[in-house]
Amino acid sequence: MASATVTSKGQITIPAKVRSALGLNAGDRVEFVEIEKGKFAVIPATRSIRELEGRFYDSRRKPVSIEEMNAAIRRDAARSR
């Protein structure tokens, strides 16, 4: 079993065996997903944004223009003040 020590700054070094199994390289990001209270899974967050293409497509929705997006941002920002 691979293990690591937490530093005083809350950092750990992921053991080489684990990095290799997860396909992680220097600069890659990981996510810590709570799978139950007190247990977390370490998930590589290395996917390309391109993999999301078409995932949220809904043929019933009308496309929104940049102007409409900007107006919605301004409206919501004004409400949050």
Domain ranges, ordered by start, for the chain:
55-79
Query: Does 38 or 49 have the greater pLDDT score?
Result: 38
Residue at token pair 């390289």 = 25
Query: Does 58 or 32 have the greater pLDDT score?
Result: 32
Query: What average pLDDT does the segment 14-30 reach?
Result: 92
Query: What average pLDDT does the segment 51-68 reach?
Result: 83
What is the per-residue pLDDT for 67? 94
Q: Are 32 and 42 in contact (CB under 8 A)?
A: yes
Q: Are 53 and 47 in contact (CB under 8 A)?
A: no
Does the pLDDT of residue 46 top 80, yes or no? no
What is the per-residue pLDDT for 59? 82
The percent of residues in the chain predicted with pLDDT above 70, rounded, is 98
